[in-house]
Amino acid sequence: MKASASITKTTSSKLVFAVTFSSLLITSSPLMAEDKVLATVNGQDVKESQLEIAATQSKVNFKAITPVQKKLLTEALINRQLVLDEAIKANFDKTPDIVARVKALTESFVAANYLAIIAREFKIDEASMKAYYEKNVVSKTPKEFKARHILVKTEDEAKTLIIDIEGGADFSKLAKEKSTDTGSASHGGDLGWFTEQDMVAPFSKMAASLKKGELGKVPVNSQFGWHVIILDDVRSTKPPEFNAVKLDIEKILIKEKLNQYLDDLNAKATIILK
């Protein structure tokens, strides 16, 4: 009866801006001071700075680049320059569509990298991270439930089972005899320990509403069928250690500051939607 669950959530739609152009971001360190010429193509120099950018775009570690990688990337840059020369001769770079696309890419690159510089200037102190940890990690650490269920095809079957169990019938025995969930039926319907996020929503909602040892008074419907549920136990779970999630929290708080930065820009700007 388990369902997939998403743990990470974005803090604002404004961050789509940063995410969309993340592939355009410059490297964290400035390009080399001595920009060595690797080749000259029809009078145009192909430089090491271009190789570094090409390596970053190809997800190659420039600092650990191998001779083979360097050779392949240099050849690619040479070919790019040759094709670029032909495109310029044909005035292809001056066509309206290309001009517009180059302008859009340039603007995106500049804006995204400036935003990255702004983000690097944000400092998140330990106290803020610990406060977030207590409020959003510790306090929201899910409980675990231990339950049994009997899965049947119709609501009437489920209601009859509830009446039988309330009348003294053995839940585990009925699960072995009636449940269509063969995985748990052989164990008397036992599903083991799970969190609310582990199960489909209707099942989890019912389990979380029950007290230890209580039988659900009404059957629960899901895409699997009709469930008769009894909660056997409930326990608290241990949150992850602060140091284990500290970096993730820092990223979240930086994103929140970026949201505020963008909100402030919007507030100061004159924006007319048409």
Tens-binned pLDDT, residue by residue, of the chain (274 aa): 654 333 334 444 454 444 444 444 554 445 556 789 999 999 999 999 999 999 999 999 999 999 999 999 999 999 999 999 999 999 999 999 999 999 999 999 999 999 999 999 999 999 999 999 999 999 989 899 999 999 999 999 999 999 999 999 999 999 999 999 999 999 999 999 999 999 999 999 999 999 999 999 999 999 999 999 999 999 998 999 999 999 999 999 999 999 999 999 999 999 999 9
Render the chain in DSSP notation, one character per residue: -B--------S-TTHHHHHHTGGGPPPSSPPPSS--EEEEETTEEEEHHHHHHHHHHTT--GGG--HHHHHHHHHHHHHHHHHHHHHHHTTGGGSHHHHHHHHHHHHHHHHHHHHHHHHHH----HHHHHHHHIIIIITTPPEEEEEEEEEESSHHHHHHHHHHHHTT--HHHHHHHH-S-HHHHTTTTEEEEE-GGGB-HHHHHHHHHSPTTPBPSS-EEETTEEEEEEEEEEEE-PPPPHHHHHHHHHHHHHHHHHHHHHHHHHHHS-----
Fold of 142-236: Chitinase A; domain 3 (3.10.50)
